[in-house]
Amino acid sequence: MMEYKKKPNILLIMTDQQRFDTLKCYGNDVIETPCLDWLAEEGTVFTKAYTPSPSCVPARASLITGKKPWKTGILGMGGNQLEMGVNFETTIPGCLSKLNYLTVGIGKMHFYPQRSLNGFHQTILDESGRIKDPDFTSDYKEWFDNNKPAEVGIIDHGIDWNGWGARPYHLPEYLHATNWTVNEGIKFLKKKDPSKPFFLKLSFARPHSPYDPPEFYFNMYTDKELPKPVMGEWVEECEQKVTTLDAWNRKLSDEELKKAKSGYYGSITHIDTQIGRFLFALKREKLLDDTLIIFTSDHGDMLGDHNLLRKTYAFEGSAHIPMLVVLPKNMRNSIKNKKVNIPVQLQDIFPTILDILGESIPKDIDGKSMFSLIKGEEIERKYVHGEHSTCYSENHEMQYIVSEDYKYIWYPRREKNEEQLFDLKNDPYELKDLSKNDSYKSIMEKMRGYMINELSERGEEVVKDGKLISQKGKPYMISPFYKKRLESYGWDWTKYGNFKKGTLETVK
């Protein structure tokens, strides 16, 4: 077999909707994740990693491009927001393809059009039942239908793709999407071009609901005492009493929460086991030592914290994500920091990869290399910024700033232009809102100043005379970068929503 020495392989492992505190290296002593724990021991743990937007499409767009949501044009996900589209100027797989990498994405990509490649040579898809294009069938669905034992569906267990319910998987484990994703990854290793290094994005559709791990993994947690949801002193009654099975702010009973968390934890342990299978396969193929491994998730899951479910919030359960970076073995002597407490984001992955490869970083990338932090060097960063246009409720549209010690949240569509401030160092689960505490007035002004600085490029509709301007009652803003990207590809961007006078009114 031909061997290459010049460039390491790159493995980007991504889970969907995995909150930060679901690994032992983040302080969870209940959950069992031995394979990810091993990666944490071998590499560097970033304790303050945040999504730039806590839902699938905007987070993944920022990851693949290295740009913040304003630059990708994807400011949220849901009824009033846009599809990802194509024609990004730079993407991780596109850039690596030019460096002679074989680039493949396996699992959930969440692209639109669904078969678009966005720089990959090939994608092998599991899209969690999502059908956006006419006649689209995912590769997992096609395989499942060809291998299922009877007339049975992927979610015939009765749990919705966004549901809070949980139960063991209703079919043999080998049919589960988590197993399929790793099986396809192992096939790739066996059949890839041996003369080229590879970039593989191994993207799991879980622990995002349905919370349906195989029975073995579900049962691991049913008799354990699991962490209870946190409830801030500032929490009011749910603004709606939502009773649907995919509710986002239903106050679940203790029994319902225990089942949901058993399914969620079981899904993570199931993924961990399958990641172990893939790492063993890498070792068998004599590729493990020569591979850069990055593990992360697109966003978290509230799991009942503050009476909230699912995602799209600035709170820790939704916005704070895991981030592990394991250097190739011959580079590990450069590791000076095994744990990094400086805030980082998904868009930092792109420049990190290029920096580790010794390649120049495109100037239009917003992210900063985490390699500097691994080596014990400093980066110029006072804060990270995140946002989400409304998904479930206008009142939850938010912008947030995270510094090393504090989090500031602005709710632009609430009646009183509301803000929150949390001391993450001393109050890591945001139990006390300090925004009206006079002792923190200077901190509030400082964090608000960071927000004003971040949003000033959006014009006087958002920042005027050094103040944040309420967006209540105004049309949802469309980034000019989104219009430019789609128009440069020859698409009529106005067809991707219901537009009025160039601004987004609503999207069906």
Query: Does the annotation mark 110 as catalytic?
Result: yes
DSSP code per residue over 126-157: --TT---STT---HHHHHHHHH-SSS--TTTT
> Quick one: 382 exposed, middle or buried, by C-beta within 10 A (0-12, 13-18, 19+)?
exposed
8 Å CB contact between 343 and 402: yes
Give the list of residues 6+ apart from residue 333 with CB closer than 8 angstroms, or none: none
CA torsion 133-346-94-353 (nearest 10°) is -150
| Nearest-angstrom CA–CA distance, 462 and 176 | 46
Give the list of residues 6+ apart from residue 187 with CB closer than 8 angstroms, or none: none
8 Å CB contact between 103 and 198: yes
> Which of these is catalytic: 25, 35, 95, 110?
110
Query: Does the annotation mark 95 as catalytic?
Result: no
DSSP code per residue over 399-433: EEEE-SSEEEEE-TTSTT--EEEEETTT-TT--S-
* Peptide bond preceding 412 in cis form (omega within 30 of 0): no
**Positive or negative torsion for Cα 196, 327, 96, 205:** positive
Which structure tokens are listed for 427? 């109050």
3-state SS of the chain: helix, strand, coil percent to 5?
35, 15, 50
Report the 3 state secondary structure along 326-388: ECCHHHHHHCCCCEECCCEEHHHHHHHHHHHHCCCCCCCCCCCCCHHHHCCCCCCCCCEEEEE
Buried b / exposed e over 235-254, threshold 16 CB at 10 Å, is eeeeeeebeeebbbbbbbee
Q: How far apart are the first and last CA of the chain?
A: 53
Reference 275, options 140, 181, 187; nearest CA is 181
> Which of these is catalytic: 25, 35, 56, 391?
56
Residues marked as catalytic: 56, 110
